[in-house]
Each structure stands twice: as structure tokens, then as C-alpha cells.
Structure 1
């Protein structure tokens, strides 16, 4: 994508940025945006094919590529090892972006204890353990930015995915609690709340004529929220420009919620 007319953040150059779920959709836009800023970028994803395609495209466009580490985030041991690999190959993580999620729809009547636990193991548990893995070195260096991705779905009282909306409502609690614990060490923790973002997955699975009408009626701003719109907010929060922002929600939803 063409990012040449958008803001530059000199403080992001050479920063080590670790992104979960960076292979496609919002995550891919975040990965590319940090690469464009000159950051040293690493990401994990379970989608090897999509992630490899992204890496090749960024290498062709920018002459450098992010470090991709295949990882199933339900495996916390593998997540910890990925953080260790990033530290060994790129350096200590300066910016953590907890982006990975799965919003597959499900009926409340069909949810089993096993399915509930799996949804939490994808949508909220890895956020905490990624923070736990990177924070000790941030504490030692007295610097760092952690950005957790929430969702407007629970704010809008969306039904049809209770395990997902429960997990996403918990993101802001995690953000605010960790912002208090880590703030004394000059580490910032914030939540970015996307609206209905027009990723390939959303367009293929859930955006229909009814959804289009709902966006037209409820958004204050005309148009559609794109992955790059979320990435731009993440860049800001990762940069030194946001040095006094912490424990906050930053909603990017065209005024829907």
C-alpha cells in the first residue's frame, strides 16, 4: 500500500516491534506500517502461507522484511520461545502489539466448556503472557509501549459470539491493570478498539447488504474503516509522540459505538 502521504514517526526508527497475528488483515497492515517507519519488526501467526506471502511482498517493496515466526498462540510455551527468538535476533522488544484474535460466530446454546476455554485461549490469554514475556526487559530499560487490540462488538451489544465479546471486553481490564503495574517503570499500556474493519475475512464471511446498511446508518463518518486506519493509531501509540498516553481506549470506528 502507498503510505507516503501519512505521518512519519522518527522515534520508531530501529525500534524492535513484536506483533501477534501479523500475517493478514489488521495485523498485516500493522506489520507493514512499522516496516515503513524503519522499525525492526517481528510477528507471529498460525497462517504460514499468508504470512510468508506478506514477508515476500514487503521484501520486494521495502528491500527489507520482518521476522516471521510460526506460532499457535494457544501454546504459551511457543509464544515465550518466539519472544526469546525475537530478543536474540533483533534485540529487546520496545513495542508489543497484541493483535491476534478470532471472531468466529457461535450460538450461545452450542458453547461447551471446551469451546469457551479455547476462545479465551486465543482472544485474551496470549495478551497477558506476551506482556509477561516482554515486560521484564522493558522494566530494566524503563521504557516500552504495549498496545492491546479490543473490539467495538461488546460495546455495541453484538450477539452471536458471546465467548469472543467476553474476551474482548476483558482487554480493557487487562490494559488498565497492567498500565498501573508498569507505569512506574515508564511503560505505557493502551487499548485500540477497532470498529467493523473491512478485512478480506470480514468481507468474505460477514459483510452483507444488511451489514452495509447498518454501517451507513450508525457510523457518524461515511465510508468504511480499513486495516490501515487501525494501524495508524497503533503507530501513534507506539511512538514517543504518545509518551503521556496510558490506560486508555482509543476507538477507531468512524463514530459507530
Structure 2
């Protein structure tokens, strides 16, 4: 394998931001593991797109990141490469509940959301650590972990209190892991604002999703609804050698939403 040939895993990459991230990495010539939990057809389609975009090897691995055995299985898909340069922890879930509706969330809801959004990234990093360290030694630069969080984890907003809390925990974990894994592995996090993907349609229906989109565009200073590709560009910057001296950063990309008073 060429010294500069990147090897990457992107969790939750069957569609949306994960798929957009995988495609950009494919254009750079990275070998990829596409991961899905239940959307096999979409994952296979994403894999085909990545092959056409220039990836020399694309593997598809089923797995629920809330389960440690599945995380180890996802990482094992890349073991033949003997290294990893990039791990993007993108898989996420939520339950759409108004924040004032405290009875709308059960302990089981919290456990499921935390299991995917917070424990999942930890388990993926733990499973991938030895391969990421091997990648760093082979390339003579730190390997990269990029966590996909949310502005919900900074501001306590979003689809539910459980979701916001899980992303806040992920942001804090980024700081802990960036200290613990240096100097061979660097860890950064992206906090998107609204992204124009099917995420809101699944949770709120077509009409509800349009209402959210229109409200965001009307309020944010840049007057745009970010696409998956917009956010994926930032994810890939943090994953690639151009950001090799960055670690422990939680980077917000919300079209200026945080500027609204």
C-alpha cells in the first residue's frame, strides 16, 4: 500500500452527512469502510458512488455502534489494510420530543440515544485505536478521529433534551480523548446547525421539516440551509493531513445561528 494512501471508516454512512463525507474521502483516493445499521440498500448505493468517485477499495460493514461487538466487527473490516488514518464517528439517533415535555422521554429513550451518540463513538475509538496508531506510525503524522456532534450539545437545543445532552457529552469526551490519545491520534468534533437532510422529515414529516427549514433560513445571518455536502467539507478537512496540527477542537458550523440574540 502506498505510504500516502489513506484508510478510513465512516460510521452511519449509508446516507446524509455520512455518505457525503465518504464520497469526498473517496475523491481523495481513500480506502473506505461504509457502515450502516439497517439501511443496507442505501449503504451499497453509497459504496458504488464512492467506487466511481475514485476509491480503490470500498467495503460495507453492518453494525450498530451502541453494541461493542458490532464496533469491533466494523473495525475488523479494515484489518486487512493493517492501518487506519481516519475514523469519522457520524452515526447518530434521536427521539423528537418538545423540551418542555419531560414525560415524553423515558430512561430507555435516554439510554438508546446515549448508546448511539456518545457510547458508540467511544467504543469505535477503543476498537480502532491500534489500527489508528499503526496509521500514524506508517504516515509519520497523527491519525484523525472526527466526531459529528451538534450545536444542540453547545446550546441545549435540538430535537430533544436527550439528544442535546448526548451531544454535549460527546463534546466533552472529545477533549478527554484528545489528551489521552496524543500524540499518535488527534480528535476533533464538528457541531453542525441545521442540515437539509431527511433527518427532520423522518422525525416531523414533510410539512414539519419544511417549517423547520424555512424558519432556519429566515433567522440565520447567512440565510442558508446547510447541505450535507457543506458540513462534509469541514469533516473532511479535520480528517485530512491539512489539519494535522489540530486536536481537541469543537468546531461549530451553523450559518451564524449562534449570533442570534
Which band: TM-score by shorter chain? 0.7 to 0.9
**Paired residue for 1:211?**
212
Is residue 127 of structure 1 aligned with residue 125 of structure 2?
A: no
Cα distance in 2, alignment partners of residues 114 and 188 from structure 1: 32
Alignment check: 8 A CA contact 1:13 1:37 kept = no
Structure 1 position 50, deviation (Å): 1.2
Structure 1 position 204, deviation (Å): 5.5
1:60–1:144 distance in 2 versus 1, CA, 3 Å: closer
1:43-69 Cα distance to aligned partner (Å, 9 max, x none): 211111211122233334547552111
Cα distance in 2, alignment partners of residues 221 and 80 from structure 1: 41
Cα distance in 2, alignment partners of residues 149 and 229 from structure 1: 13
Q: Which has the higher contact order (CA 8 A, sep 6+)?
A: 1
Alignment check: 8 A CA contact 1:56 1:65 kept = no
Structure 1 position 150, deviation (Å): 0.7
Structure 1 position 205, deviation (Å): 4.2
**Paired residue for 2:246?**
245
Given candidates 183, 187, 196, the residue that maps to 2:185 is: 187
Root-mean-square deviation (Å): 2.3
Aligned ranges for residues 25-64 of structure 1 at < 5 Å?
Answer: 25-46=16-37, 47-60=39-52, 62=54
1:183-222 Cα distance to aligned partner (Å, 9 max, x none): 2x23211011111000123345445454234313431212
Structure 1 position 17, deviation (Å): 0.6
Q: Secondary structure at the match of 2:33?
A: strand
Alignment check: 8 A CA contact 1:95 1:144 kept = yes
Is residue 147 of structure 1 aligned with residue 139 of structure 2?
A: no
**Paired residue for 1:164?**
163
1:189–1:160 distance in 2 versus 1, CA, 3 Å: closer
Q: Secondary structure at the match of 1:220?
A: coil
Structure 1 position 74, deviation (Å): 2.3
Structure 1 position 129, deviation (Å): 0.9
Shifted more, 171-180 versus 156-165: the winner is 156-165
Q: How many residues align?
A: 245
1:182–1:94 distance in 2 versus 1, CA, 3 Å: same
**Paired residue for 1:87?**
79
Structure 1 position 78, deviation (Å): 1.6
**Paired residue for 1:18?**
9
Cα distance in 1, alignment partners of residues 3 and 160 from structure 2: 36
Cα distance in 2, alignment partners of residues 75 and 23 from structure 1: 18
**Paired residue for 1:200?**
198
Structure 1 position 104, deviation (Å): 2.8
Cα distance in 2, alignment partners of residues 117 and 209 from structure 1: 29
Q: Secondary structure at the match of 1:155?
A: helix
Cα distance in 1, alignment partners of residues 190 and 4 from structure 2: 22
Alignment check: 8 A CA contact 1:229 1:252 kept = no
